[in-house]
Chains A and B, each alone.
Chain A
Amino acid sequence: MSPSIRASGWSVEEMPVNGRIQAFRRRTARLPVSVMIFSTILALIVILAILAPYIAPFDPNKQALLARLKPPGFAYRGDTFWLGTDDLGRDLLTRTLYGAGVSLGVAVLSVVVSSLVGVSLGMLAGWFRGWTETIIMRIVDIVMSIPAILLAVLTVAVLGPGFLKLVLVLGLTRWPRYTRVAYAQTLQVANLPFIKASELSGAGAARILFHHILPNIAGPILVVATAEFGLMILMESGLSFLGLGIQPPSASWGSIMSIGRQYIERAWWIVLVPGACLFLLVFSVNVLGDWLRDQLDPRSRSR
């Protein structure tokens, strides 16, 4: 990584360009090309999701029943549906834009909730051992032995559907994976001499857990989190499909796809458009997650 960085940084210096651009290039020259591409895609998705109400060509719920299941580029009574229409003649581009915010929001918030719960419990179990460990890890076993979707269905059935409830349901059913990883990593790190040295220094449990263990187990947790991110969007679509997630007529990528699934032979674009967006989003998050994991490790940072 570092030779190419140095090489491109050097060539930038040679170029007689505007100072500000030069400074920007010098800073970004350190980033690998893949990271630049996928962070741009991610930023684009986020911006489009935020701006959806202003840039979408149609009302997301406006139906045109005579223009049902029309292919991309279809023009009808002066309106052009650039990405086609769905089964109720709603503009797919508009719904995908609106759905981005919902899908992103659910995924980000539920990953935050589940990782906070999961990582703290895992670290506590791995550090204190004994009864704390037994109780936490048995609960993990129990939660993991129940199919997540079933647990989510049960919880939604009790709490009722809704955006925040969906986040809560996903967050509270997906934490055990973080706990398992955090627990195993904590066990490993806690036995290293530098933790013993910290104890001898007089550091308490809180300081050791946050200052020494958490930074050293962050890498694997980040990998779990990026994998979970994609899964959350899919879980959301699954729950929405069952009528337990985002309620129609609100759009989310998952709900658009689950509708499109029924028409995949006649109207492939309904599945393809949000599906491709989902693929790009998850892929970008994974690439950035891997890069960030390397950045968190001072050993791989060039100086």
Chain B
Amino acid sequence: MSDPNAHVLEMRDVAVHFGGRGGLFGASGQVVKAVNGVDLTIGRGETVALVGESGCGKSTLSNTIVGLQAPVSGSIRVGGEEVVGADRRKLNDIRRHVQMIFQDPALSLDPRSTIGATVGEPLKVRGVAKGAALKQRVGELLTQVGLRAEHADRYPHQFSGGQRQRVVIARALALEPGLVICDEPVSALDVSVRAQILNLLVALQKRTGVSYLFVSHDLSVVRHICDRVVVMYLGRFVEIADRATFFDNPKHPYTRALMSAVPQADPVVQRGKERYVLSGELPSPANIPSGCAFHTRCPLATEICSQVRPELTPRDDGARVACHHA
């Protein structure tokens, strides 16, 4: 923490809210608290998974880190530089260090641009390379992700989903960023190519030292690739732990519910497994329950849970958990 260069990302007490302001005709909506005071630090070469169900604020948080969404409070430092409050030019500089890989490769490539133009765009608009040098660099990037330099003249529709995701990865790595946010990078792909893409991400990390913030709700993928896991529920982190600790000894009741939802390949194990089924729906982020946000669905909930919000507290094995009872 003392050396800012040791971390590619440092978030302090970040909150992102939507709505609430009165519109033109005085219609003031409810405030949706999508992200509510989160702290997260990602070191160089580290892969951190961010898991949680739909609507818990994962995507909002990733958009906030890259500066596409402004937080209402808190501090986000990418590569040691503050994103919050940065002007357009500054923000543009910072974005060199953080790039994004999107869920659906069919939508994240411009259908009217050749993939060479797409991969080369960050280099071109930032004046890093042009002409023959640009062409060569694009060729290198394509080779790096397992495509061929000749593919540069083709259009996205001429590639399969897995190949398109490789193109997206090449574009994200063009500027040699310190952090790449992977927003469900394999959930839109066929199971047969998921492993290829995950292995590619791991190989590229070894070669370039890039860090990943891996947004996912697929725990089997998370187990395969991540060093550390962060569980998010209704805009707050409820558990942060190293991979081994997390999978061997999940503590927060929400985490345990997520785990028990993952089917086991072995039917004997699957039948004998402790079932941990949650009741009810995810509450609306516009109307977050008092105290511990999870108490409405938690099997362990008691009186205190609806009154006092538990803070993230360290446990013996290094995990940090926000729960009164676990």
Contacts and interface: CB of A to CB of B under 8 A. Distances in A.
Query: Do A and B originate from a single complex?
Result: yes
Contacts of A202: 92, 95-96, 122, 125-126
B7 interface: no
A231 to B, nearest CB: 28
Contacts of A297: 111-112
B95 A200 contact: yes
Contacts of A199: 68
A192 B107 contact: yes
A298 B95 contact: no
Contacts of B157: 298-299
Residue among B110, B118, B168, B174 having the largest count of chain A Cβ atoms under 10 Å: B110
A216 B112 contact: yes
Contacts of B174: 201
B102 A201 contact: no
A212 B113 CA distance: 8
Contacts of B199: none
Given A202-B92, A298-B112, A194 B107 contact: yes
A16 interface: no
Interface string B151-188: 00001011000000000100100110000000000000
A201 B122 contact: yes
Nearest to A212: B110
Contacts of A192: 107-108
A78 interface: no
B210 interface: no
Given A200-B66, A202-B92, A193 B113 contact: no
A204 interface: yes
A204 B125 contact: yes
A193 B102 contact: yes
Nearest to B110: A194
Interface in A194-251: 194, 196-204, 207, 211-212, 215-216
A169 B109 CA distance: 40
Contacts of B108: 192-194, 196-197
B104 interface: yes
Contact of B104 (A193, A200, A201, A216): A193
B99 interface: yes
Interface string A260-303: 00000000000000000000000000000000000011110001
Contact of A299 (B98, B111, B121): B111
Contacts of B111: 216, 297-299
Nearest to B177: A200
B240 interface: no
A215 B112 contact: yes
Interface in B62-113: 66, 68, 92, 95-96, 98-100, 102-104, 107-113
A174 to B, nearest CB: 27
B110 A299 contact: no
Given A192-B107, A194-B107, A196-B68, A201 B158 contact: no
Contact of B125 (A203, A216, A296): A203
A205 B113 CA distance: 17
B61 to A, nearest CB: 15
Contacts of A216: 110-112
A198 B95 CA distance: 11
A138 to B, nearest CB: 12
Given A193-B102, A298-B157, A201 B125 contact: yes
Contacts of A194: 107-110, 118
Contact of A196 (B96, B100, B112, B118): B100
A298 B112 CA distance: 6
Given A298-B155, A303-B158, A198 B121 contact: yes
Contacts of A203: 121, 125
Given A194-B107, A200-B95, A203-B121, A211 B158 contact: no
A216 B113 CA distance: 10
A201 B112 contact: no
Contacts of A296: 112
A298 B168 CA distance: 19
Contacts of A298: 111-112, 155, 157
17 contacts: A193-B108, A194-B109, A194-B118, A196-B102, A197-B108, A201-B171, A202-B125, A203-B121, A211-B113, A215-B112, A296-B112, A297-B112, A298-B155, A298-B157, A299-B111, A299-B155, A299-B157
Closest CB pairs A-B (n = 10): A201-B122, A215-B112, A193-B108, A193-B102, A298-B155, A299-B157, A194-B110, A201-B121, A202-B125, A193-B107
